[in-house]
Structure 1
Amino acid sequence: MHLQGSCHCGAVAFEVDSLAPVPFMRCYCSICRKTSGGGGYTVNILGQADTLRITRGADAIKSYRAVKDKSVPEAEQVLCQNRYFCPTCASYLWAHADEWPQWVYPYASAIDSELPVPKATASIMLGSAAKWTDPRELPVNSEAFEEYPSYSLEQWHRDHNQ
């Protein structure tokens, strides 16, 4: 599926193709919660990195590379995904992880195209959820994980035919 996305102020727009455009997984980790807001979680979808095309505002895009655990000494810190955003309106656009160079992870909230409704969902990193969120009240056909699930985003789509 060909997807189009943009930031809130319109300074940045992009396109990406996805073989798995279903927004099904809510991540409650502190990085997603603090950088993306929302209901205390973020929802990414799976995009093909080689199809990502910035159609407006390429020079404006900034990135942030979060640290998984800031409580450890700097030399031991593990970096996680780069998170790309518009510096004007602060809209997060997509993430990219060095471990999986073939994928980008557009934030569902940045996608302007109509996305399919998931038949099932998953909530991950519940052990990191803020107390003010209520991730335990999950929709029907949902899975919940205290940490990361044992399967990949790609595998979930294969298993659920979505």
Structure 2
Amino acid sequence: MREMTGRKQSAASPCAACKLLRRRCAQDCVFAPYFPSDEPQKFANVHKVFGASNVNKMLQELPEHQRGDAVSSMVYEANARVRDPVYGCVGAISSLQQQIDALQTQLALTQAEVVQLRMRASMLSSLVGGPMDGSLPPNKHGVHHAKSMFAVEVDQPNLSETLWTC
């Protein structure tokens, strides 16, 4: 038996790569630690995109501590190429970048709207002539004013809300 990524595998059960390639899985098989027999599609996609010979060469040229990351990258790219044969992972990255751009634009618009609302509230506060807590001085007849309400309509696309200030 040989040790492989935290579990034992007998010589009778080849790794996914050797199983797909229909060859005997040697004790020192470079694929075995990264393509276990219970994940055949993982190697099938990598083989389809890169070819077993190229994957073998790439893994042999890397130090062992970097091979796991290299296999993860190859699996990601291979899966992306199977889903999108033309653009692969570049298509996914481009789509995510477009989402980031759209969200950053939306955030900037929302932040500008907050600044605008704060300025309007500040202007209303200065028009009333004091704090916006509803406490107004009595008029010339000694009668306190009724609490005044001002409504500010925010009319933006996809947003309609009223900011109430006193």
**TM-score normalized by structure 2?**
0.21
Please identify the structure whose Cα radius of gyration is greater.
2
Higher strand share: 1
Report 1 or 2 for greater relative contact order, CA contacts < 8 Å, sequence distance ≥ 6.
1
